[in-house]
Amino acid sequence: MLDRSALSHDAVELAPRLLGAVLSHRTPEGVVAVRLTEVEAYRGTGEDPGSHAHRGMTPRTVAMFGEAGHLYAYFTYGMHTCVNIVCSAPGTASALLLRAGEVIDGVDLARRRRPSATSDRDLARGPARLANALGISLDENGADLFAGPFSLMEADAAADVASGPRVGVSGAGGGAAFPWRFWIPGDPTVSVYRRHARSHD
């Protein structure tokens, strides 16, 4: 098990280390566990124009400024929940968006939650799909990963790491200046990179 101190680091520094880690979520339906294969790092006030916390704390972003090891969940496009792991010290907005992973436990339950998935590699391939497969809802914004019903296990071995521009972040927050998307190269569950004109919101 990872502990809170392991997550109390800057998002860009921490992101490669979380590749291969396993996030589990227990609900009344059962347990689903996902091995993380793709994450994006976001910093906070004044440092990262692509971050929700760029302009400071708001009712939406309170969790991003909190204690490491909590979830920052948000609603996007009026229909999807995306989930981040908060990191760094309290008061410093920093979080990792969980972009993709491989379902390694609870595959049948993940399939029921994601009936439109064409193959198992697509069950958690993309941030909204990952949250859906794990059964994480907007109500779990601020939830503590170290208080159950979650667990976070470190990777068995160091993963190969690739990095590049974040997805869906335009203007000053995207591109070569912010190559803060990290993934395990060659893993089939990593999402397809598409350059969007929309922001992280």
Whole-number pLDDT of residue 195:
52
Average pLDDT estimate for 25-46: 94
Indicate the pTM of the whole model.
0.91
Give the chain's domains with CATH numbers: 4-183 (3.10.300.10)
pLDDT at 65 over 70: yes
Kindly indicate the confidence band of residue 78, based on its pLDDT and cuts at 50, 70 and 90: low
Strand extents, DSSP E, 43-141: 71-76, 80-86, 95-105
